[in-house]
Amino acid sequence: MTIRAAARELGVSESTIRRWVQNGAPCIRQGESGRGRGALVHVSDLERRRRGGLKPDRVLDRVAEAMLEAYRCEANQGLPAHRLFPAMPKEGKAAMLYAYAYHRVHLKLTGMPPDDNALPEPIEQLLRIVRTAHE
C-alpha cells in the first residue's frame, strides 16, 4: 500500500508515515525519486509499531543476548562453539557459529525454533559450508 493510502487508513499525515519508515518501521519497498516509486508499506506493520510493538532497541538487545548464547553454546555444556569441532577448518566453525546464532536469535525473538524446512537462503548457504567443511 502506498504511503498516502496508509496515512488515510490510519488517520495520520503522510509525513508521519514517512517519519515512521525513516525511523525503522518495516516497509515492503523503500521509496525512490520519481513518480510512482514511493515506499510501499503494510498497514498492519505500521499499526503494530504505532501500538508500541517491540522497539528496535529491544530487538537489538535480544539479538545480542542470543549471539552471546550462541557463542557460549549453552546447549553444549557451555563449551564455546569454536571448540566443539577441533578438526573442522575455521571456515566451517565460523559458518556453524553463524547458523547457530541465527537459530538462537529466531528462538529469542519468536519463542520457537526456526523451521528447518523453511530456512532463509543465507542460512542454507552457511549450513552447506558446514557440511562441506565437515567432509
Per-residue three-class SS string for the chain:
CEHHHHHHHHCCCHHHHHHHHHCCCCCCECCCCCCCCCCECCHHHHHHHHCCCCCHHHHHHHHHHHHHHHHHCHHHCCCCHHHCCCCCCHHHHHHHHHHHHHHHHHHHHHCCCCCCCCCCHHHHHHHHHHHHHHC
- The pLDDT of 27-50, averaged and rounded, is 68
Q: Evaluate if pTM is beyond 0.85.
A: no
> When comparing pLDDT for 21 and 99, which is higher?
99
Alpha carbons 115 and 124: distance in angstroms, whole number: 12
- pLDDT of 128 reads 92
Is pLDDT larger for residue 2 or for residue 134? 2
pLDDT for 1 equals 79
Percent of the chain with pLDDT over 70: 75
pLDDT category of residue 121 using cuts at 50, 70 and 90: very high
Task: Tell me what percent of the residues of the chain surpass a pLDDT of 90.
Answer: 6
